[in-house]
Structure 1
Amino acid sequence: MAKKEIEPLNKIFVTDIRGIIEQSRRNAVRSVDFCRVQMYWNIGRRIQVEEQKGKKRADYGSFLLKNLSKELEPEYGSGFSYRQLAFCRKFYTLYPIVNAVRSQLNWTQYRDLIAIDDPDKREYYELETVNNAWTSRELERQIHSQLYERLLMSSDKEKVLAVARKQRIPETPQEVIKDPMVLEFLGLERNPEYYERDLETAIINHLQRFLLELGNGFAFIARQRRILLEDDEFFVDLVLYNRLLRCFVVVEIKTEKVTHQDLGQLQMYVNYFDRVEKLPDERKTIGILLCAEKNDTVVKMTLPEDNETILASEFKLYMPSKERLIAEVKQVREEFERKQEL
């Protein structure tokens, strides 16, 4: 009697099993991370309770942490150094209610958050880390690139926080799209002569990080989208869609200073998508001119006074120093407030 051949496993079945394994591994890592967060929170609570007993001594807190570290560090390692224990104490001080500690965040992320003194700024990064599932590295980058301050340049604090809290949906492109954009993750060499296609290719190769830097709610649609107008061909560098604003977003890349011709070309692309591609229930198309340098007056004079859909945003290929970023944000903010007063 011939031996019956074993049928090959169904590929969908195998894929499902692999998915279960991978998800379980991720859950296990998150569980361990959150146990660590809970441990440090409880340590911080216990430290504060002990400090209350000796609160009459001004230096008791420092004395307590130094001696506790001497007891714990030889046995448990550098995770219980004086500095780490100070973080635990501050962690509990900022999050005294255990229900306020989010299971989606790990200890590295909480350390970055508790280092922020501004409570509104800290809440914004906390919410956006959860909303966008940022990794520790992504959160660190957004803090260092002054994301919160850049968003405040084009919107007020309450609107920015309301979007992060999911209390409102962004209504204008300025609430979502940053200016300037920091694109140091593209890894382009420090060469003053690079081509738009090089920048475009680098963006596509780092698409996920580019969409994250661009703003919330973006999805990739096409690259070099061909438009045929009678016998003339045109190619849009990038076509995206924003699910929060519910509209197409066309991006043109210019590696030199923006001109009025560049803005006119972008306006034509926006008109095309509005008149040909847009569905009746969708909002007007947004155009972003990603440029190495811009003249705000030229942009203002080229576009209609009631323009709400064409944006020129500068990009920086290398992360400026924190001091320079703060100075630039402050300068732009002061100019904006000055115009509001006129």
Structure 2
Amino acid sequence: MSLITVHVDYRLALSEIKQRIQTTQMRAVLAANNELLSLYWYIGQKIVTLQQAQAWGGAVVEEMAKDLQAEHPGIQGFSRTSLFAMRQFYLFLSPRFTIVPQAVGQLPWGHIRTILAKIKDVDIALFYASACAENGWSRSILDLQIEQDLHLRQGLAPSNFKAVLPAPQSELAQQTLKDPYMFDFLTLSQRAVERDVENQLVSNITRFLLELGKGFAFLGRQYPLEVNNRSYFLDLLFYHTRLKCYVVVELKTGEFKPEYVGKINFYLSAVDDLLRGEGDQPSIGLILCKDKTRLDVEYALRDVNKPIGVSSFITKEIPIDIQTQLPTVAEIEEELAGKL
């Protein structure tokens, strides 16, 4: 290794050049995608104009697909189905926009077609387009979020954020939470306790983080805190990279009870004293329970000065009669040992 390669000025310059290359590549990809979407918008507009002026109906799409494919045999994307999608693209958004809206312009064409196929309201479509661009969802994840009605759950958890956090931190924190959370990747019996939920959430940490949303960094389960020579354990502890704060999560398999607020309020005070560093925002608490009454939550949070939200969650439950028929871990191990 030469002296040049280890010099701080060289390392800094090299890092800046790499960053510039990456940024330029990303801009080139986005520019190419914007040009492609502008072309699809233009084609859709032309098809609609011809149909309206000449009353040709779907026949014009059929003919145009044949002619474009004959003229450009090596270029994909001009099939009959694709041209109808371009027409739908233009018809869906043109009443509100004269060009491709910015949120939509950041998405690949396949993602846009998924939105067009599943969403009939422009505002809801723009919600998913913005969320997809912000979170970098794959097409399958976008499809999952639409199926699970994310737009009806995002930012709807009851909380006291507006009362105890300054703007815009309060608005950002509120939009971070969902209600309910869809933990349909969990399979729980009706007798499940909090530790069962915790075990399965950690075992499915990738899907758990996906449902929580962008920005959550998992720090640990049963996270230990020492207060006044006593040990306390947080069910789950996260750090949110956008909110710049710790997030304490308490799991409850039953209905919300007001006393849960006192417990998580205590934990938040301890986390702020023991873990919160310079530049960190006040820690946030999230109580996840199987069910809740909104009025009970509002009363419980009304005079609390720590930021706390309460959300319910949905899982797959195994009926008791089926649960009793399933083999235990010991029985499975015994069966496997007998076959070896």
CA distance in 1 between counterparts of 2:286 and 2:57 reads 53
Unaligned runs of 5+ residues in structure 1 are 1-23, 156-167, 320-342
**C-alpha distance in structure 2 between counterparts of 1:64 and 1:89, whole Å:** 11
Residue 125 (structure 1) aligned to one of 108, 114, 128:
128
Cα shift at 1:35: 7.8
**So what's the TM-score if we normalise by structure 1?**
0.66
Q: Tell me the residue number matched to 1:236.
A: 234
Name 1:272's counterpart in structure 2.
Answer: 270
For residues 291 and 178 of structure 2, the distance between their equivalents in structure 1, rounded to whole angstroms, comes to: 15
Q: Distance in 2 between matches of 1:98 and 1:172?
A: 27
CA distance in 2, matches of 1:120, 1:99: 12
Q: Which residue of 2 aligns with 1:49?
A: 46
Would the alpha carbon gap of residues 316 and 111 (structure 1) be closer, same or farther in structure 2, given more than 3 Å must change?
Answer: same
Partner of 2:57: 61
User: Of the candidates 112, 115, 127, which is equivalent to residue 113 of structure 1?
Assistant: 115
RMSD (Å) for aligned C-alpha atoms: 4.0
User: 2:44–2:89: 8 Å Cα contact kept in structure 1?
Assistant: no
Q: Which amino acid aligns with 1:108?
A: G
Q: Secondary structure in 1 aligned to 2:186?
A: coil
* SS class of match (1:259): coil
* Secondary structure of the corresponding residue to residue 45 of structure 1: helix
Q: 2:255 aligns with which of 239, 254, 257?
A: 257
Relative to the length of structure 2, the TM-score reads 0.66
Q: Does 1:149 align with 2:145?
A: no
Quote the offset at 1:172 in angstroms.
5.1
How far apart in 2 are the matches of 1:301 and 1:154? 14
Tell me the distance in 2 between the aligned counterparts of 1:309 and 1:251: 12
Q: Which amino acid aligns with 1:141?
A: L
Separation in structure 1 between the aligned mates of residue 267 and residue 60 of structure 2, nearest angstrom: 65
Tell me the percent identity. Answer: 29
Corresponding residue number in structure 2 for 1:197: 195
CA 1:113 to 1:34, structure 2 compared with 1: closer, same or farther past 3 Å? farther
Taking the aligned partners of 2:65 and 2:84, their CA distance within structure 1 comes to 10
Going from structure 1 to structure 2, the CA distance change for 1:258 and 1:65 (only over 3 Å counts) comes to same
How far off is 1:150 after superposition? 2.0
Deviation at 1:181, TM superposition (A): 0.9
- The CA deviation string for residues 214-267 of structure 1, in whole angstroms up to 9 with x for no partner, is 234221122211123345322111111112222110001111112233332212
Describe the SS at the equivalent of 2:52. Answer: coil
CA-to-aligned-CA distance 1:97-152 (integer Å, 9 cap, x gap): 47959786333211123343433332232222222111111111222222223236
